[in-house]
Chain A
């Protein structure tokens, strides 16, 4: 994992908060991709939830609809 070498100065909250938002967006995108791959590899929602440190319900609520739609689209040949 890339080390955070420098942190923005607390005197410059604009820069620090912008970095927080960017990291959050990156984390969300990585989470979606990783969950999709995990499902493709046969992981259960319980395993995914455990790995993410959230409840099974939370993991399912967050990702299931999107993954289900992708499966339907693939079956439909779209």
Chain B
């Protein structure tokens, strides 16, 4: 009982860090609201380190994900013949006065999926690995395309998430 309460407090702290980190990543990258890709970038910075470990287990470098986001935008622009210009590598940050109040639909989907996951598994704290698992399950959207752009195999990620979470049980 006490352990459950302790985990719940820990989860609240993690969610707070995850959301503020996603917000920050969105603003740094010139977006007003965070999407799933920003939640993944934020998960890489969580102190538990599990999101980074999952990527490394799957043979991917988490530091490549940021560039992969830009690459999938450029690939998409190239597909319609816009190849002379590309997305800025260093876009002007959004100077928002707002704290987190909303997310893009993909960001909202991440939060909903995390909530559902935690309802099913109350024995371990919310981890960055959970976020990786949720984002890797997405079939479409910026995050999914970025993962494909960096050649990440979804089955490897899913397996690595499972192994990482099992080590916490």
Contact = CB atoms under 8 A, between A and B. Distances in A.
Contact of A19 (B30, B76, B91): B76
A29 B88 contact: yes
A51 interface: no
A19 B92 contact: no
Nearest to A20: B76
B96 A65 contact: yes
B97 A65 contact: yes
Main secondary structure of the interface of B (DSSP, over half): loop
Contact of A33 (B79, B92, B95, B140): B92
Contact of B92 (A2, A14, A26, A32): A32
Contact of B97 (A2, A7, A69): A69
Interface residues of A, number: 28
A8 B78 CA distance: 10
Given A21-B142, A26-B87, A7 B80 contact: yes
Interface string B62-88: 000000000011111101111011011
A70 B95 contact: yes
B88 A6 contact: no
B79 A19 contact: yes
Q: Which of B72, B75, B79, B98 has its CB near the most chain A CB atoms (within 10 A)?
A: B79
13 contacts: A4-B81, A15-B76, A18-B79, A19-B80, A22-B72, A22-B73, A22-B76, A28-B30, A32-B30, A32-B94, A33-B92, A66-B96, A67-B95
